[in-house]
Homo-oligomer: A and B are copies of this chain.
Amino acid sequence: MLLRLNHHSGVPIYLQLIEQLKHAIETGALRGGDQLPTIRKLAEDLVMNPNTVARAYRELEHEGVIELRHGSGAFVPESVVSRAKVMRKAQGIVQSAMDRLASLQLSEDEIRRLVENELALLRNNESEITLD
């Protein structure tokens, strides 16, 4: 398994870990039933605190991507296989949208704001203040 981490990007390590582990599952590097590296083992290899790895694992479990067994380890459930297909489809949607946006000369921050705006609309929880 190959993990790409960047300690100087400003992106929290635990988020990068989540992304990379998901990628490993989606590409088949990790398959249903497989056991993931131990929290301590991975923390040692990556030279970081076990809690940081634990946080990534915890969130992955919360999203249903992995399964944590207290005292035993972390495992990839069989069910994620079909989910991987969905994620690949989603990734394609995002990629084509980003490509089209990039050709419009938008900055990254502007793209992020458009996305956040749409997400907020799908949620809808705002109050109003009126000026003359």
Contacts and interface: CB of A to CB of B under 8 A. Distances in A.
Tier of interface size on chain A: 35 or more
A45 B24 CA distance: 51
Interface in A72-120: 86-87, 89-91, 93-98, 100-102, 104-119
How many copies of this kind of chain does the complex include?
2
28 contacts: A1-B132, A2-B130, A2-B131, A3-B129, A4-B128, A4-B129, A6-B127, A9-B126, A11-B116, A19-B113, A63-B107, A63-B109, A86-B104, A86-B105, A86-B106, A87-B110, A90-B106, A90-B110, A91-B114, A91-B118, A93-B101, A94-B97, A94-B111, A94-B114, A95-B118, A98-B115, A108-B123, A111-B119
